[in-house]
Amino acid sequence: MYDFTVQKEMMIAVNYLLEKHGLSDLSALGGGTALAAYYWNHRYSTDIDIFTHSEVDISLIFRPVKWDDKFKKIMKELDYKESKIHPIYTEFTIKDNFKMQFLSTTDKTDNPYQLVRLWDMDILLESVEEIIAKKIYFRAHKGNARDLFDISIAIHKDPIIFNKLLISNSKLEELQSTVETITREPKLLDEYLYEIGLMNPNPEYSKLALNCINYLKQFLDSYLEAKRLLIELSDSELIEIEKYIYNDISE
């Protein structure tokens, strides 16, 4: 139900750049566009986020002064606007504020990516667990609507997902604190609902889209309280907890 034509064009450009620098086997598409275009079809997402699972300094090799003539032509056809070169990521902006972002990363799960067929291309795609781990690790404190919605769907589809992430409980506690802050501030909750509306969520996920904050708060409270009490919840217990919370938010 979503048009990813521009994202496909950006991915073609990305593949050329990765192949030129010998990084195709180490770089995977992640982030919200990977979740939306391949896994869930749950919302619209604009950016192409490429994670290079290597210590190579992409800020040096991807900068525009290093582009060859072919890549310059590709970017011109995409209506290239500007670049941002940071120590930890490189970003290219094209027409309508679409972005290609390149980040060097370390694995946050045991199975960070896989080869898939997407947009008539064979590409490496990060796993759901890897994407969610990065969203929590890097952005738990921000409370972006798209991230909270994505994390909620991940839990709903796989209630044991937190046990698969190579991140500390402190990051989950940071996410819990962010969610609690939104819960206490009606203005922040209104902002969440406004931002999630802009993403045109798939009606299949409307319950989670509208009740994401309450859902996340209840699940994180249950999961982390068990951790604090040194209780190891079984897979079946986590599934039952999620089922109860999901049913509760619709009542």
Tens of pLDDT, residues 54-109 = 877 787 889 999 999 999 999 999 999 999 998 888 999 999 999 999 999 999 99
Ramachandran angles phi, psi of 83, nearest 5°: -125, 155
List the domains of the chain with CATH numbers: 5-126 (3.30.460), 130-248 (no CATH)
* Residue pair 102/66 in contact by the 8 Å Cβ criterion: no
Pairing of strands 48-52, 99-104: parallel
Which helix (DSSP H) or strand (DSSP E) does residue 184 occupy? helix 169-184
Q: C-alpha angle 217/219/224, rounded to 5°? A: 95
Banded model confidence at residue 251, pLDDT cuts 50, 70, 90:
low
How does the average pLDDT of the chain come out, rounded?
A: 95
- Contacting residues for 130 by C-beta, under 8 A, at least 6 apart: 30, 107, 108, 109, 111, 112, 113
Q: What's the confidence (pLDDT) of residue 25?
A: 95
Q: What's the confidence (pLDDT) of residue 61?
A: 86
Q: How far is CA 240 from the centre of its chain?
A: 26
Say how many C-beta atoms besides its own lie within 10 A of residue 177's C-beta.
Answer: 13
Tens of pLDDT, residues 104-163 = 999 999 999 999 999 999 999 999 999 999 999 999 999 999 999 999 999 999 999 999
Q: Cα separations (Å) of 144 from 78, 90, 141, 188, 251?
A: 28, 21, 9, 10, 25
Residue with tokens 């890549």: 71
Give, as one character, the DSSP assignment of residue 43: S
Q: What's the confidence (pLDDT) of residue 59?
A: 78
* Residue pair 202/41 in contact by the 8 Å Cβ criterion: yes
Residue 75, CB-side half-sphere exposure with 13 Å CA sphere: 22
Residue 24 structure tokens: 């195709």
- Contacting residues for 171 by C-beta, under 8 A, at least 6 apart: 136, 137, 140
